[in-house]
């Protein structure tokens, strides 16, 4: 058994990474690109949750909102204000795109906190695609809106001429590191939180430390609820910042 | 190069075998290393992610956001409408208050006028009544005076008459002759100042 392989001596078995394994939903076959997997299931649940909140929740279209409509309006207001404040009025054209990103990440993170759940945002493949799509979209918008002036983003005019080339190199590097940090920040937070909860839960096998383990899991879970929202917020706000750079590249 | 590839393929095959055997032995699959770095699942995740994002974008952009936006702008409209209506009502209330105040002031002025008119009328009547009374009083006083004078005059003459008669009778009873002129003179001198 697994116990033998991992922790014979103590009777402990830690498999903190098992929760991240991508498995086919039906049968034990190989994971092809089209195979419905647990990823597919939880992606579907994200869409269902978004539909439930933003569409079913607002079906009353009430002047005095119901609870679910209030939450939907709150989410709308939060992201709308974020886009307007950071990217400016001309950034509001991209509000649906940023709202989609926010709802996706926020529901992925929160649904991932359900016991036995699969957290899609804990996978580099997922966050990488999200971050890369933001990066490519924003770069395309920058060049389409500003043409060659978009390169002003890398040419810091407020700095002395002598150090501008050096700054330009740093700016270019930091620009291309953006999708990496953008994706790893989210995935890393999710992996770490879920893995730590699993490790704490593993200690519950020892009766003596079980209470401490349970308290630690509860505390960690509460912390993860916070992180789930904050990471979605951070991802969205950074997207807005990148969009602002694309729309108004001059420093 | 080729040998390296072959070696890699061999180890991969070995790995697969071991995984397969562990599954065959009824074990739950356990992760070796980070499942996030298992490149074989990337195509699957990316494919389903793109499908999901397209569906989600359609739901959010075409259904959810227009609806919530409409609700929010409706609410804003209703609120500004209500505020304007409230402002209008406030103005109306102010107008009504001004009209009320004006009516009150008018009524007060009218009442004052009526009171003054009544007072003047009453005063006039009173004056007339007083004048009439005064006239009556003075007339009565004059009449009374006249009568008093008459009474006094008659009393005077009566007193002289009696005094003369008494004096004459007294003189006669003492055996004297009555000198009417002397009696009259004596009575008059005695009476002087007694009845005036």
Residue A88 exposed, middle or buried by CB count within 10 Å (0-12, 13-18, 19+)? middle
For A249, phi and psi rounded to 5 degrees? -75, -20
Question: What is this model's ipTM?
Answer: 0.89
- Nearest residue in B to A73, CA atom: B68
Using a pLDDT cut of 70, give the percent of chain B over it: 82
Q: Computed from CA positions of residues A43, A48, A52, A55, in that sequence, does the dihedral angle turn out positive or negative?
A: positive
CA distances from A2 to A13, A34, B18, B24, B38 (A): 7, 30, 14, 14, 21
Residue B74: list chain A partners with CB under 8 A: 61, 63
Out of B52, B71, B75, closest to residue A46 by CB: B52
pLDDT in tens, B116-140: 999 999 999 999 999 999 999 999 9
Structural domain boundaries in chain A = 2-247
Out of A6, A17, A28, closest to residue B23 by CB: A28
Residue B59: list chain A partners with CB under 8 A: 47, 50-51, 54-55
pLDDT in tens, A7-59: 444 567 788 888 899 989 988 888 888 989 999 999 999 999 999 999 999 99
pLDDT in tens, B39-74: 889 999 999 999 999 999 999 999 999 999 999 999
For A232, phi and psi rounded to 5 degrees? -65, -45
| Chain B contact residues (CB < 8 Å to A) | 23, 27-31, 33-38, 40-53, 55-57, 59-61, 63-65, 67-72, 74-75, 78
More confident residue, B61 or B156: B61
pTM for the full predicted model:
0.71
A211 membership: H or E segment, kind and range: helix A210-247
What pLDDT score does B28 carry?
53
Q: Which residues contact residue A228 at a Cβ distance below 8 angstroms, ignoring those fewer than 6 apart? A: A106, A109, A110, A112, A113
């Amino acid at each position: 058994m697994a116990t033998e392989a991992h922790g014979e001596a103590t009777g402990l078995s830690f498999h903190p990474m098992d929760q991240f394994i991508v498995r086919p939903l039906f049968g034990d076959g190989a994971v092809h690109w089209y195979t419905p997997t647990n990823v597919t299931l939880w992606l579907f649940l994200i869409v269902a949750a978004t539909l439930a909140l933003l569409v079913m929740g607002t079906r009353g279209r009430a002047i005095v909102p119901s609870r679910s409509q209030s939450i939907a309006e709150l989410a709308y207001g939060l992201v709308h204000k974020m886009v307007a404040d950071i990217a400016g009025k001309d950034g509001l054209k991209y509000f649906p795109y940023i709202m989609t990103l926010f709802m996706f990440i926020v529901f992925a993170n929160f649904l991932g906190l359900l016991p036995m759940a699969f957290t899609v945002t804990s996978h580099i493949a997922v966050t990488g695609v999200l971050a890369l799509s933001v990066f490519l979209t924003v770069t395309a918008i920058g060049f389409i809106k500003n043409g060659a002036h978009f390169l002003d983003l890398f040419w810091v005019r407020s700095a002395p001429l002598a150090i501008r080339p050096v700054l330009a190199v740093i700016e270019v590097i930091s620009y291309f590191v953006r999708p990496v940090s953008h994706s790893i920040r989210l995935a890393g937070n999710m992996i770490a939180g879920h893995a730590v909860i699993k490790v704490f839960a593993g200690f519950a096998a020892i009766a003596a430390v079980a209470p401490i383990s349970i308290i630690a899991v509860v505390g960690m879970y509460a912390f993860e609820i916070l992180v789930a929202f904050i990471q979605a917020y951070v991802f969205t706000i950074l997207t807005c910042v990148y969009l602002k750079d694309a729309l108004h590249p001059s420093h | 190069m080729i040998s390296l590839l072959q070696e890699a393929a061999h180890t991969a095959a070995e790995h697969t075998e071991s995984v397969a055997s562990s599954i065959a032995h009824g074990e739950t699959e356990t992760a070796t290393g980070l499942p996030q770095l298992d490149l074989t699942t990337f195509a699957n995740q990316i494919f389903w992610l793109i499908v999901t994002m397209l569906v989600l974008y359609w739901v959010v952009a075409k259904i959810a956001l227009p609806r919530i936006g409409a609700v929010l702008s409706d609410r804003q409209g209703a609120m500004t409408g209500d505020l304007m209506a409230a402002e209008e009502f406030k103005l109306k209330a102010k107008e009504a208050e001004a009209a009320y105040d004006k009516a009150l002031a008018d009524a007060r002025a009218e009442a004052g006028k009526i009171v003054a008119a009544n007072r003047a009328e009453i005063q006039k009547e009173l004056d007339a009544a007083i004048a009439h009374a005064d006239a009556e009083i003075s007339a009565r006083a004059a009449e009374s005076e006249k009568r008093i004078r008459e009474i006094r005059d008659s009393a005077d003459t009566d007193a002289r008459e009696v005094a003369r008669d008494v004096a004459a009778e007294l003189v006669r009873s003492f055996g004297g002759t009555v000198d009417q002129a002397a009696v009259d003179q004596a009575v008059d001198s005695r009476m002087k100042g007694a009845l005036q």
